[in-house]
C-alpha cells in the first residue's frame, strides 16, 4: 500500500508537470506540441531545482510555499489555456492511432521500459544504490535536518553541483526516498522524449524512435533509472540543450539560443561534466555564427549569461566554502580548504583505476572493450584476446566498481550500428554535429577517468545518430536489412535479462514490496547490510546524537547527525596527532561526537575505510562503550 | 567497392558484434539470482 501511495503522489506531480508543459506549447502542429510540452516539463523541473537551491542557500527551503504555488500556478495556467490543452491532447491521441506499425511497436517498447523501470523504482534505496546512500540522498536528508543547505565538510561529494539533489530534497520532504528516486526515473522518459524531438524535427520520427529505443535498451541506462543517481538528469538537460541548439542552427530562431543557454545552466547545476556541454555548445555557437556571419548580440549574451546565472551558484558556493570552484578536483590549480595534496593524489589514483589502461594502444581498443565489458573481467569468459588485456598494468579492467560491474553494461549495439555509420557519405549536418560532439566527449573521457556513467550524455547523442543509421540500413539490400532488423530486435528484447542484476531482476526484487508481501524494513534488511544497525541507532539514541562513522560511507539510513571519520574523506581529524585512545576520544569530543558507528568488515560488505587502532584502546580504557552489535556493525557510546 | 559489398560487410560487422557479445553473455544470464 505505502509504495503505491508514493507512486500516486509522484503521478500527481507528473500530471502537474504535463499540464504546465501542454499549456506552455503554443504551436498547433503535433510535433511542435510534443517538443514544447517536453521542454516545458524540463524547464519547470530545472526552475524548481534552481528555486530550491536559492531558497535553501538563503536559509529556508520554503517547500510549503512551492507545494502551494507551483500546482496553483500550473492549474491557473492550464485553466486559462484549457481549450488549447484539450485540442492538443485530441491531436496527440489521434496521431498515436495513425502511427505506422514500426513506430507503434517502438513506442510500445519505450512504454514497456518506462513501466518496468518505474516499478523497479518503487523500493527504498538498498546497498546497490551506493552513491545514493553516500550522498545523492544522504546529503539532502542532512539538509532537511538542518532546514537549509549547510556545508557538510565530512564528505567531498557534497561540494558537487546538487541541482538534481534539490529535487531529491523536495521528494524526501514531501514523502520519502521513493518519490525522490522517481524524480530521477522521470529523466529517462524525458531524455528519450528529447531524442525523439531532436530527430523528429531535424531527421525523421522513425530515426528518433529507433534512437530512443536504443538508448532505453542500454543496460547501464535501465539499471540507473530506478536509482537516485543524477546522470540521467544531466543526459536529459544536455539533450534539451542540443535540441534548442539545433533549432537555432537550422531555423535561425533566437529563442532557440536563449533556451539552449537555460538548459546549459541546468547542466552546469547537475554535474561538473555539464561544463563540457556548455563549453562544446558554446564553441558550436561561435563556429556557426562566424561561418554564417550571423551575430545577434542579445541572444548571444543571453546564451553566455543564463548558464552562469542558473548553474554558476554551485561553483560560487564552492569558492566561498573552499576557495575551489570545482572542489575537490583541480587541487593543484585552486587548492581547497579541507583537502590536502595527499588526498588529491589518492583521489586521482582512485579515479584512474577504472578501465583498462591509459597507453595509446589501450585507447585504440577502448570502443571494443567498452562494448564487451564486463565479460572480459570474468575468468573463463573472455572471448576475444588481445583486446581484454590492458597494455599498461595495475588497471581493474572494469568501467565500474567491481560490485556494480554486472549492473552497468553498455553492450555492443552502439559499436555495431555506430561504426558502419562512419562510412556513410553525405550525412545530414545534425548527424555530423552529433558525431563530432560524441568524439569530443569521448576524447575527454579517454584522457580522464574511464567511468562508464560519465559517457551517458555522449551515448544519448550517439543513439540519435545510430537511430538515423538503422533507418538507413533498413532501407538497404537484404543482408544489411536482415542483419540490422534481427540484431536490433534481439537486443531490445534481451537486455533486461542479461544479468540477474539488470532490469528484470530489479523488478522481481521490487514486486514483493509493491504487492505488500514484504515490508520496506524487511526489504532493506535483506538488501543493505548496515540497515539494522542504523535502524537501531535511529530508535535507541537521542535525536541530538552525533555519530563518528568508520568503514561505512552509505549512511543515508542513519537518521542522525554524523560525520565520516576515515582519514581519506576529510581533514576533520588530524591523525598525525592521534597517538593514543585518549587523543582519539579528545578529537571526537572536539567534533561534538557522542556515538561511534563502525563497519568492521568493509572489504566484505562494500564499505570503505577502517577504524584506527586507537579506538580499541579507548574501548579498553572504558571511555568508549559498545552498546550494540549487528552483523559486522558496532555502535559505541562515548562516556560523558 | 560496390554498394552491395559494402552492405554485406556492414551486415557481417553488425552480426559479428552481437554474436561475440551474446555468446558469453548467455553464461551471465544463467548466473544465480542475487
Q: Which residues contact A407 (CB under 8 A, 6 or more apart)?
A: A128, A219, A223, A400, A499, A501, A502
CA distance B31 to A268: 40
What are the DSSP calls for A323-347, one per residue?
A: S-TTTTS-HHHH--TT--HHHHHHH
φ/ψ of A600, rounded to 5, equals -85, -10
Residues on chain B touching A411 (C-beta within 8 angstroms): 21
Residue A115: CB atoms within 10 Å: 11
Q: In the prediction, which pLDDT does A80 show?
A: 86
Residues on chain B touching A473 (C-beta within 8 angstroms): 10, 14
Q: State the cell numbers at A327.
A: 572542489
Does the beta-carbon distance from A498 to B23 stay under 8 Å?
no
DSSP secondary structure letter of residue A547:
E
What residues pair up with A599 in beta bridges, in sequence order? A633
Residue A504 CA from chain centroid, whole number: 20
Q: Which of A384, A483, A498 sits opposite B11 (nearest CB)?
A: A483
What are the DSSP calls for A270-299, one per residue?
A: H-TTHHHHHHHHHHHHHHHHHHTT---HHH
CA distance A204 to A206: 5
Does the beta-carbon distance from B23 to A378 stay under 8 Å?
no
Does the beta-carbon distance from B13 to A411 stay under 8 Å?
no
Q: What are the CB-based long-range contacts (under 8 Å, 24+) for A385-390?
A: A388/A356, A389/A356, A390/A356, A390/A357, A390/A359, A390/A362
Does the beta-carbon distance from B4 to A378 stay under 8 Å?
no
- ipTM comes to 0.89
CA distance A46 to A43: 5
pTM of the model: 0.94
Residues on chain A touching B12 (C-beta within 8 angstroms): 483
CA distance A393 to B22: 28
Residues on chain A touching B32 (C-beta within 8 angstroms): 500
Tell me how close the Cα of B21 comes to any Cα of chain A, in angstroms.
6
Does the beta-carbon distance from B7 to A476 stay under 8 Å?
yes
User: In chain B, how long is the greatest CA-to-CA distance?
Assistant: 50
Residues on chain B touching A508 (C-beta within 8 angstroms): 33
Q: Which of A593, A589, A219, A197 is nearest to A404 (CA)?
A: A219
Handedness of CA A239, A245, A250, A253 (dihedral sign): positive
Q: In the prediction, which pLDDT does B31 show?
A: 57
Pair type for strands A546-550 and A561-564: parallel
Residues on chain B touching A479 (C-beta within 8 angstroms): 7-8, 11
Q: Which of B7, B25, B33 sits opposite A375 (nearest CB)?
A: B25
Q: Which of A637, A587, A640, A592 is nearest to A612 (CA)?
A: A587
Residue ranges of chain A with per-residue pLDDT less than 50:
379-387, 390-394
Angle between helices A163-174 and A177-202 (to 10 degrees): 130
Q: Under a CB-based contact definition with an 8 Å cutoff, are residues A202 and A157 in contact? A: no
- Our CA angle for A404, A155, A142, nearest 5°, is 100
Residues on chain A touching B28 (C-beta within 8 angstroms): 375, 378, 381, 406, 498-499
Chain segment A405-433, per-residue pLDDT in tens:
777 889 999 999 999 999 998 899 999 99
| Helix (H/G/I), strand (E/B), else coil: A637 | strand
Tell me how close the Cα of B2 comes to any Cα of chain A, in angstroms.
12
Q: Which of A310, A340, A342 is nearest to A327 (CA)?
A: A340
Q: Under a CB-based contact definition with an 8 Å cutoff, are residues A624 and A585 in contact? A: yes
Q: Which chain B residues in 13-32 lie under 8 Å from chain A, judged by CB atoms?
A: 13-15, 17-18, 20-25, 27-29, 31-32
Residue A518: CB atoms within 10 Å: 16
Residues on chain A touching B3 (C-beta within 8 angstroms): 476-477
Q: Which of B7, B13, B27 sits opposite A419 (nearest CB)?
A: B13
* Interface with chain A: mutation pick from B18, B23, B33, highest number of A CBs within 10 Å: B18
CA distance A137 to A155: 13
Q: Under a CB-based contact definition with an 8 Å cutoff, are residues A167 and A52 in contact? A: yes
- Our CA angle for A456, B18, A118, nearest 5°, is 45
What residues pair up with A546 in beta bridges, in sequence order? A561
CA distance A548 to A566: 9
* C-alpha to C-alpha distances, A140 to A146, A173, A594, nearest whole angstrom: 10, 9, 22
Phi-psi region of A408 (alpha: psi -120 to 50; beta: other; left: phi over 0): beta
Phi-psi region of A478 (alpha: psi -120 to 50; beta: other; left: phi over 0): alpha
b (16+ CB within 10 A) / e for A304-323: eebbbebbbbbbebbeebbe
Handedness of CA A246, A218, A179, A155 (dihedral sign): negative
Handedness of CA A475, A478, A482, A483 (dihedral sign): negative
CA distance A20 to A269: 22
* C-alpha to C-alpha distances, A388 to A357, A380, A394, nearest whole angstrom: 11, 12, 14
B2 touches chain A (CB under 8 A): no
Q: Which of A442, A437, A466 is nearest to A454 (CA)?
A: A442
Q: In the prediction, which pLDDT does A366 show?
A: 87
Does the beta-carbon distance from A375 to B18 stay under 8 Å?
no
Q: In the prediction, which pLDDT does A570 show?
A: 93
Q: In the prediction, which pLDDT does A350 show?
A: 84
| Helix (H/G/I), strand (E/B), else coil: A634 | strand
User: What's the start-to-end Cα distance of chain A, in Å?
Assistant: 43
Q: Which of A383, A487, A499 sits opposite B14 (nearest CB)?
A: A487
| Helix (H/G/I), strand (E/B), else coil: A352 | helix
Amino acid at each position: 500500500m505505502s509504495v503505491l501511495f508514493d507512486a500516486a503522489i509522484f503521478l500527481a506531480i507528473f500530471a502537474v508537470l504535463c499540464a504546465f508543459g501542454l499549456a506552455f506549447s503554443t504551436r498547433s502542429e503535433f510535433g511542435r506540441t510534443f517538443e514544447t510540452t517536453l521542454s516545458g516539463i524540463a524547464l519547470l523541473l530545472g526552475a524548481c531545482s534552481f528555486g530550491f537551491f536559492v531558497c535553501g542557500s538563503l536559509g529556508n527551503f520554503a517547500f510549503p510555499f512551492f507545494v502551494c504555488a507551483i500546482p496553483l500556478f500550473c492549474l491557473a495556467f492550464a485553466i486559462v489555456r484549457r481549450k488549447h490543452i484539450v485540442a492538443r491532447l485530441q491531436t496527440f491521441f489521434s496521431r498515436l492511432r495513425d502511427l505506422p506499425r514500426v513506430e507503434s511497436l517502438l513506442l510500445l517498447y519505450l512504454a514497456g521500459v518506462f513501466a518496468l523501470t518505474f516499478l523497479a523504482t518503487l523500493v527504498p534505496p538498498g546497498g546497490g544504490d551506493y552513491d545514493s546512500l553516500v550522498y545523492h540522498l544522504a546529503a539532502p536528508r542532512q539538509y532537511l535536518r538542518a532546514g537549509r543547505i549547510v556545508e557538510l565538510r565530512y564528505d567531498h561529494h557534497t561540494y558537487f553541483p546538487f541541482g538534481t539533489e534539490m529535487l531529491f530534497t523536495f521528494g524526501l520532504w514531501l514523502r520519502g526516498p521513493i518519490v525522490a528516486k522517481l524524480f530521477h526515473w522521470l529523466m529517462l522518459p524525458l531524455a528519450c522524449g528529447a531524442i525523439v524531438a531532436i530527430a523528429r524535427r531535424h531527421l525523421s520520427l522513425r530515426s528518433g524512435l529507433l534512437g530512443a529505443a536504443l538508448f532505453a535498451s542500454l543496460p547501464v541506462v535501465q539499471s540507473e533509472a530506478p536509482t537516485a543517481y543524477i546522470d540521467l538528469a544531466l543526459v536529459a538537460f544536455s539533450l534539451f540543450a542540443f535540441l534548442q541548439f539545433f533549432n537555432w542552427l537550422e531555423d535561425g530562431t533566437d529563442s532557440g539560443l536563449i533556451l539552449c543557454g537555460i538548459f546549459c545552466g541546468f547542466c552546469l547545476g547537475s554535474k561538473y561534466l555539464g561544463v563540457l556541454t556548455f563549453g562544446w555548445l558554446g564553441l558550436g555557437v561561435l563556429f556557426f555564427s562566424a561561418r554564417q556571419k550571423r551575430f545577434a548580440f542579445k541572444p548571444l549574451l543571453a546564451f553566455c549569461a543564463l548558464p552562469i546565472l542558473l548553474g554558476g551558484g554551485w561553483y560560487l558556493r564552492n569558492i566561498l566554502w573552499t576557495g575551489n570552484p570545482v572542489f575537490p578536483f583541480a587541487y593543484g590549480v585552486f587548492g581547497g580548504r579541507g583537502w590536502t595534496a595527499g588526498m588529491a593524489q589518492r583521489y586521482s589514483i582512485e579515479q584512474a583505476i577504472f578501465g583498462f589502461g591509459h597507453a595509446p594502444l589501450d585507447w585504440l581498443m577502448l570502443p571494443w572493450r567498452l562494448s564487451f565489458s564486463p565479460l572480459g573481467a570474468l575468468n573463463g569468459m573472455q572471448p576475444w584476446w588481445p583486446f581484454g588485456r590492458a597494455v599498461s598494468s595495475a588497471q581493474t579492467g572494469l568501467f565500474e566498481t567491481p560490485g556494480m560491474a554486472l549492473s552497468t553494461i553498455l553492450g555492443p549495439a552502439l559499436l555495431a550500428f555506430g561504426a558502419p555509420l562512419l562510412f556513410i557519405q553525405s550525412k545530414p549536418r545534425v548527424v555530423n554535429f552529433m558525431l563530432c560532439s560524441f568524439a569530443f566527449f569521448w576524447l575527454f573521457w579517454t584522457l580522464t577517468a574511464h567511468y562508464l556513467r560519465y559517457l551517458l550524455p555522449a551515448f544519448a547523442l550517439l543513439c540519435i545518430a545510430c537511430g538515423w543509421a538503422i533507418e538507413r540500413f533498413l532501407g538497404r539490400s537484404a543482408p544489411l536489412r536482415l542483419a540490422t532488423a534481427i540484431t536490433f530486435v534481439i537486443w531490445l528484447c534481451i537486455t533486461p535479462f542479461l544479468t540477474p542484476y539488470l532490469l528484470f531482476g530489479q523488478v522481481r526484487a521490487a514486486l514483493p514490496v509493491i504487492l505488500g508481501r514484504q515490508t520496506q524494513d524487511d526489504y532493506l534488511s535483506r538488501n543493505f547490510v548496515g540497515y539494522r544497525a542504523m535502524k537501531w541507532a535511529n530508535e535507541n539514541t537521542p535525536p541530538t546524537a552525533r555519530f563518528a562513522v568508520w568503514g561505512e560511507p552509505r549512511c543515508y539510513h542513519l537518521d542522525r547527525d554524523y560525520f565520516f571519520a576515515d582519514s581519506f574523506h576529510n581533514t576533520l581529524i588530524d591523525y598525525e596527532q592521534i597517538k593514543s585512545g585518549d587523543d582519539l576520544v579528545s578529537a571526537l569530543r572536539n567534533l561534538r561526537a557522542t556515538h561511534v558507528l563502525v563497519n568492521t568488515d568493509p572489504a566484505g560488505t562494500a564499505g570503505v575505510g577502517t577504524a584506527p587502532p586507537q579506538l580499541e584502546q579507548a574501548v579498553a580504557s572504558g571511555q568508549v562503550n559498545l552498546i550494540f552489535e549487528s552483523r559486522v556493525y558496532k555502535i559505541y557510546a562515548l562516556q560523558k | 567497392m560496390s554498394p552491395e559489398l559494402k552492405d554485406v560487410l556492414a551486415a557481417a560487422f553488425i552480426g559479428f558484434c552481437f554474436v561475440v557479445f551474446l555468446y558469453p553473455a548467455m553464461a551471465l544470464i544463467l548466473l544465480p539470482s542475487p
